[in-house]
Every structure is written in structure tokens, then in C-alpha cells.
């Protein structure tokens, strides 16, 4: 059953539409068409082999960018339905928000940004937009996917001011310090809910975190205690899954309640009201403090764990080596990127490297730097 949208939600009547006009779809909404285009694009399929925290070859059960994007979409749709927002738009944003991520997660992004600093830098949100606006080649009448304005707006969560000035209407909100739609704001926090809680799960699975450590983290400890009180015999993976499930639910419920209160307190009745207000989708102050402690714990004990840092050090070296080699000789690039490099060498190399999966980047590095593997 379709729930009527709130008056401040994004719909087809208050949307700013597509860059290239197209006939309206006959059997789906405009935002469903966006979602379908994203799912069928090449960059989306590559997310299966791009890392979340653990490099892709380390195990089949760890999250990848693809499974993470699906989890964000699931959480986002549930939140959107409770708030009477546009579920299809939320799903489209969630499924596309990581399309521009490099191989090897944030380490790869940082390394590529270091390489690109003399050439305008590298921002993964901007790269996601570049993919859906330019790099995907699937349609006869336009480059990219020609997505709706509000989908593109949600993809571009962050943007530096120099880049915002180059983006026309889409960059204007960063210049004027306005907010995106509630759907875009919601996806940002659905992303946070997904990765915080699932990084706990993956960290425990990898043996880099322990239950004893997590008992000192309020966001985990209070739900773990409730689970143990109700199910005294529960242990192992079931205890972890039940605890993480409750963590996600508590954060989702808190976000819904706080966001409703913010909407009411600010007298929001239109999409224009949303854009001119301060951020409305939020956790309560108490939940915010709890999540800040969880994020600090994950940074200190998982993201900065020496085993993770060792793998990330290798990843940064792979990215830097590839970039330096291609800058020195673009003839080593595949033909498509050689042609692109005639117009903008550094950006074309960044496009090529950012589009690699973890496995492909490692294989390409071996091909180009190892005498033992010239395939």
C-alpha cells in the first residue's frame, strides 16, 4: 500500500527534473527509473569487489561497498516510510552514494586525493556524481544516467566551495548554505547507522574487536545486557546479531522521533521550508553522544588496528604507484582512457583508478610492477 507523501517530501510535482528531457515512464515513477538505472550500471556492479573496511580478498563474509549500499537502502526505506518521505528517492540515493569510492576504502581515497592535489583533488562524492552524469555509457541520447535533480543532490553529500562553483544549480546549496531534501538528509544518517553497527559485527567476526572491549561502549553494552538478561544461554554469533539488531532499531526509532520533533518545531510545511531550515533529520542529543563514543571506539580499536593499518599502507602504495606510472606514460592506460587523457590526463587517470575493484587494482599493480607476472 502506497503511503501518501508528506507535503515537504520530494515528489514528481515539486522535483527539478532531469538535465535532458525524456518522456515520462509509463509503468513506474521517475525515481523508480533512477533506481533501476543505478542498479543496472557498471559502477554499481563493481561495488561487489570494493572494500568497506577489510580488503576484499580477506574473507567472503565481510561487508563490501555493494552489501553496505543495500543495507543503507533497506534502513533508509524503513525510515522514509515512517516519516512519509519518498522511499524510491531514498533508495536511489542509497544505492548510488558510494559509486565513486576508490578501491581499498578510505585509504584508497586518501591516497588518490594526495596524488590529485596538484590537479584539483579527489572527492568520492564528486566522483559518484561524475559517474552518473558523465562516465557511464549506456544511452544513445546522453552521457551518464540522466538522473533526477534530487537524486543527484543526494549523491553529493559534501562538496568543497571551489568545486561547488563549477556545478551550477547543483552546487548552489553549498554556496548559499542551504539544506538538501529530507530524503537526502535521511540517507546520510542511514549510512551512518549501517556502517557503525555493521563495522562492529565485522570487527568481531575478524577477531579485531572483543565483546569484553565493547562492554565499555554504551551503545553496545546496554543492548548486550538486555539480550543477556532475556536470553541467559545465548552466546556466540547469535548474541552478537541480536545485540546489533537492537542497536540498529534503537537508533532508527530515535532518529524518527527526533526528526518528527524537529519538523514540528520548525513549522515545516513545504520542500522550500526544508531547504531554508537547519538540518532536520537528526538523532537526539543523548543518542548523538552515544554514537560519538561508538565512532571513537571504532576509530581507535578497529580502523587504527595495526593489522588494518598494515593492509591500508599496502593499499596506499598500490594507488600511488599506479598513478605515478600512468602520469609518466599514458600509453600504459587502456585505449579508452588514453583517449580521455588527451583532454585531462590526471583526471582521466583518477577515473581509471577510482573505478578499479580491490582485486583488479592489486592485479594491475602486479602486471605493471612484477617481472614474474606480465599477464
Grid cell digits, residue 137: 555509457
- Report pLDDT for 373: 57
Query: What is the torsional sign of CA 80, 82, 86, 91?
Result: positive
Quote the CA–CA distance of 133 and 156 in Å, as a whole number: 12
Q: What is the pLDDT, as a whole number, of residue 159?
A: 87
Q: What's the pLDDT at 40?
A: 97
Percentages helix, strand, coil for the chain (3-state, rounded to 5) are 65, 0, 35
In this prediction, residue 258 carries a pLDDT of 98
**pLDDT given for residue 55 in this prediction:** 52
Task: Give the burial string for 156-190 (b: 16+ CB within 10 Å, else e).
Answer: bbebeeebbeebeebbebbeeeebbbbbbbbbbbb
Could you list the mean pLDDT of each consecutive 10-residue stretch along the chain, which spans 375 residues? 86 95 93 97 93 56 83 97 98 96 91 96 94 95 97 93 91 95 98 94 91 96 96 94 96 98 98 97 98 96 90 93 98 95 96 95 94 63
Report the distance separating Cα 151 and Cα 146, nearest Å.
Answer: 10
What is this structure's pTM?
A: 0.94
Amino acid at each position: 500500500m502506497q503511503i501518501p507523501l508528506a507535503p515537504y517530501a520530494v515528489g514528481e510535482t515539486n522535483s527539478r527534473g532531469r538535465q535532458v528531457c525524456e518522456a515520462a515512464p509509463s509503468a513506474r515513477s521517475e525515481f523508480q527509473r533512477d533506481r533501476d538505472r543505478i542498479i543496472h550500471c557498471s559502477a554499481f556492479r563493481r561495488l561487489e569487489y570494493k572494500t568497506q573496511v577489510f580488503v576484499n580478498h580477506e574473507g567472503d563474509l565481510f561487508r563490501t561497498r555493494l552489501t553496505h549500499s543495500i543495507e543503507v537502502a533497506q534502513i533508509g526505506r524503513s525510515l522514509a516510510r515512517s516519516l512519509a518521505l519518498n522511499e524510491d528517492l531514498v533508495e536511489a540515493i542509497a544505492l548510488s552514494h558510494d559509486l565513486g569510492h576508490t578501491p581499498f576504502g578510505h585509504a584508497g581515497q586518501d591516497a588518490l586525493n594526495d596524488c590529485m592535489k596538484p590537479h584539483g583533488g579527489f572527492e568520492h562524492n564528486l566522483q559518484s556524481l561524475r559517474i552518473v552524469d558523465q562516465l557511464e555509457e549506456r544511452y544513445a541520447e546522453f552521457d551518464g544516467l540522466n538522473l533526477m535533480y534530487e537524486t543527484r543532490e543526494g549523491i553529493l553529500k559534501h562538496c568543497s566551495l571551489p568545486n561547488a562553483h563549477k556545478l551550477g544549480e547543483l552546487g548552489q546549496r553549498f554556496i548559499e548554505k542551504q539544506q538538501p531534501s529530507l530524503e537526502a538528509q535521511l540517507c546520510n544518517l542511514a549510512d551512518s547507522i549501517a556502517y557503525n553497527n555493521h563495522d562492529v559485527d565485522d570487527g568481531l567476526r575478524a577477531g579485531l574487536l572483543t565483546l569484553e572491549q565493547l562492554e565499555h561502549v554504551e551503545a553496545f553494552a546496554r543492548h548486550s545486557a538486555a539480550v543477556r538478561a532475556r536470553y541467559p544461554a545465548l552466546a556466540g554469533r547469535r548474541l552478537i546479531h541480536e545485540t546489533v539488531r537492537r542497536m540498529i532499531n534503537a537508533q532508527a526509532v530515535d532518529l524518527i522521533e527526533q526528526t518528527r520533533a524537529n519538523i514540528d518545531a520548525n513549522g515545516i510545511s513545504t520542500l522550500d521550508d526544508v531547504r531554508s531550515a537547519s538540518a532536520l533529520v537528526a538523532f537526539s542529543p543523548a543518542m548523538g553522544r552515544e554514537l560519538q563514543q561508538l565512532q571513537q571506539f571504532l576509530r581507535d580499536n578497529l580502523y587504527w588496528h595495526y593489522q588494518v593499518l598494515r593492509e591500508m599502507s599496502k593499499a596506499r602504495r598500490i594507488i600511488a604507484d599506479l598513478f605515478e606510472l600512468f602520469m609518466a606514460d599514458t600509453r600504459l592506460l587502456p585505449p579508452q582512457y588514453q583517449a580521455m587523457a588527451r583532454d585531462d590526463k590526471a583526471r582521466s587517470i583518477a577515473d581509471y583508478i577510482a573505478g578499479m575493484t580491490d582485486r583488479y587494482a592489486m592485479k594491475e599493480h602486479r602486471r605493471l610492477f612484477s617481472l614474474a607476472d606480465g599477464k
